[in-house]
Structure 1
């Protein structure tokens, strides 16, 4: 067996340390009871990860002791995302559906207003396509459409007196010809 294979076998899988051990190691180093190297060896975790957590805490940031793998993390919590989905659905139900560009702008504005850390494009003031595709994958019940404009005559004709007149005519026709509900279209 080669040295490279032995090194691979000895290495622990990334992100497998225990969060309670991370907390203990950070406390020991911050209280000057151990060096970072000693704490990393004793609590079986990468020294660089321990140093990252310690330096973030010293800068005043709040750091998670959970293993975080990868560079990208969700911007919104489950609660925020649920509110976002409900709002998009509500707008669609009110005949104001959002298209892709508008929802990405809206998501950026929401992250800014909530002061959430994000990696969205600040110049374009928009979330990116990666967010869009993963968001739509998580919420496959959403359908974003491009709103179509209503003609001026149709918009003018849709008012309370016109609608009331339509239903009065419909009621008289139903009474005159005895239509059943399944015979009425549009």
Structure 2
């Protein structure tokens, strides 16, 4: 499936107002074929819509996996996690969408083998939720994020004591290549927020 789909047919190109006018035109005593020619709506469509008494716009394509409320909940969760310095990567969001659909028994077309939603779903999700974008956050030391205060230092040394009591280390360990600043990778976060 192409990433940017281009419409190939004129199917369903009529408007709701055209359909209402055509049905009224038929109710006024005109034929279905005359209404079809006048309002540029296929004859069979007019017959079916008249029989079902439906004048709404047709839904073309696949049915959406999530409702707008469910997508809003997913969107707000992504924003919240990025605000607390735990931004999700694109693959993590795709996995979260799969898990959300599975746990709520929502019918989906996601890959059960990979246990994640597809790239096309993610692109559509980002297009529908314009406040989220793919970002490369600034690499920040964990100490700056958590704050360097008495409580945090006490927790650090308590954990360090537990680790040293369980494992015997050789002295003079080489610390070359060990950094406290990690490369965060690309995440999904609120647009325009540092």
Which TM-score tier does this pair reach, normalised by the shorter chain?
0.3 to 0.5
TM-score, scaled to structure 1: 0.47
Higher helix share: 1
Higher strand share: 2
TM-score, scaled to structure 2: 0.46
